[in-house]
């Protein structure tokens, strides 16, 4: 591992200051180039590496994957999870390591990793602007909960101080937040969204909201996105927890969503507001990721 050109991209705001400690540890251990996620030369550092490790949550991983795609010869990307949900990291087999006390774990796990392909998707808004995503995108209730959590974390950063606490806060918000339908007339290639739906979720991986996925048969390398409709309140909670089957909208190579009014949206866990109009989901090739050799 020491002979290869490694780049560790660290979101130093992740994991209740754990990112800061990890960056200091990596620099002291001399395990390659250590770059902050906000570095304006991020793409250059990633392009110069043979292998890259994204250290942070799902948003960090997406940003690093996009930086890698800009390289003439895109390097494969591994993950060291520091975020709250870490859906993509868990899906690919990367779990939190006791890196602070055992450097050999990093050199072994990432040095022995193997490469494989992974689907990339684009969400295109009514104005034609495109944004890449890798885990899931969703409209409605779950996105509104994610927005409430994001605002709470900004106002009270000490309250959201770790994965266990963050998940407890997230659960409490899910009981308090209400939401309107994500959009009347929403459809996926002609499959109309049910009238009772309060969230519409499109998955690339079989994990969602920090838990196993909403249904079987979801693959990340088959060029298909899997759609699900969730209800309100306890119905949505049971579906997310895997205790109730949500309405499946089918596996598609792409889809069109009609949004008649402003509604909450989240992309790989990042909350946004979706404006009215026609939104499209398109398959956008594949990226190369690193997975543990045992998978």
pLDDT at 239: 47
Task: With H, G, I as helix, E, B as strand and everything else as coil, classify residue 64.
Answer: helix
Number of domains in the chain: 2
What is the chain's pLDDT, residue by residue, as a tens digit (295 residues)? Answer: 554 589 999 998 776 678 888 888 888 888 889 999 999 999 999 999 999 999 998 889 999 999 999 999 999 999 999 876 788 999 999 976 666 556 667 777 888 899 999 999 999 999 999 999 999 988 877 676 666 666 656 665 565 555 555 555 555 545 445 544 454 444 444 455 666 667 788 999 988 877 766 778 899 999 999 988 877 654 555 445 544 567 788 888 988 888 888 888 888 878 888 899 999 999 999 999 999 987 5
> Do 88 and 169 belong to one domain?
no
Whether 292 maps to a domain, the answer reads no
* CA-wise closest residue to 6 among 38, 36, 40, 35: 35
> Do 125 and 265 belong to one domain?
yes
> Do 220 and 154 belong to one domain?
yes
Domain boundary among 70, 89, 112: 112
Whether 132 maps to a domain, the answer reads yes
Whether 231 maps to a domain, the answer reads yes
The answer to whether 182 touches 201, Cβ cutoff 8 Å, is: no
Rounded to two decimals, what is the model's pTM?
Answer: 0.81
CATH assignment at residue 84: 3.40.50.10330
Domain boundary among 112, 143, 174: 112
Any alpha helices (H) in the chain, and if so which ranges? 18-29, 42-47, 58-69, 87-92, 103-111, 141-155, 163-176, 234-240
> Do 81 and 151 belong to one domain?
no
pLDDT at 83: 72
Find residue 200's DSSP bridge partners: 139, 229
> Do 150 and 59 belong to one domain?
no
CATH assignment at residue 229: 2.60.200.40
pLDDT at 3: 45
Q: Print the domain residue range for 93.
A: 6-112
Handedness of CA 58, 212, 15, 289 (dihedral sign): negative
191: its two tokens: 């499959």
Domain boundary among 68, 88, 112: 112
90: its two tokens: 């868990």
Phi, psi of 164 (to 5 degrees): -65, -45
């Amino acid at each position: 591992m020491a002979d290869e050109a490694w780049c560790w991209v660290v979101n130093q705001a992740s994991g209740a200051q754990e990112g800061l400690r990890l960056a200091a540890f990596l620099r002291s251990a001399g395990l390659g180039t250590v770059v902050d996620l906000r570095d304006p030369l991020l793409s250059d550092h990633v392009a110069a590496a043979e292998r890259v490790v994204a250290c942070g949550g799902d948003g960090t991983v997406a940003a690093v994957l996009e930086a890698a795609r800009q390289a003439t010869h895109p390097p494969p990307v591994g993950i060291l999870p520091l975020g709250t949900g870490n859906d993509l990291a868990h899906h690919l087999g990367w779990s939190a390591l006791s890196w602070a006390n055992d450097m050999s774990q990093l050199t072994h796990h990432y040095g022995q990793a193997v490469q494989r392909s992974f689907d990339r998707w684009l969400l295109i808004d009514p104005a034609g602007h495109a944004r890449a995503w890798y885990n899931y995108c969703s409209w409605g209730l779950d996105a509104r909960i994610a927005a409430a959590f994001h605002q709470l974390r900004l106002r009270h950063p000490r309250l959201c101080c770790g994965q266990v606490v963050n998940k407890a806060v997230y659960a409490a918000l899910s009981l308090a937040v209400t939401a309107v339908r994500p959009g009347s007339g929403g459809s996926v290639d002609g499959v109309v969204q049910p009238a009772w739906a309060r969230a519409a979720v499109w998955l690339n991986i079989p994990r969602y909201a920090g838990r196993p996925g909403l249904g079987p048969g979801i693959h990340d390398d088959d060029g298909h996105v899997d759609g699900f409709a969730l209800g309100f309140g306890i119905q949505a909670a049971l579906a997310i927890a895997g205790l109730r089957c949500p309405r499946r909208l089918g596996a598609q190579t792409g889809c069109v969503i009609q949004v008649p009014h402003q509604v909450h949206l989240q992309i790989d866990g990042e909350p946004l507001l979706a404006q009215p109009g026609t939104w499209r989901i398109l398959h956008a090739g594949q990226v190369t990721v690193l997975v543990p050799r045992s998978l």
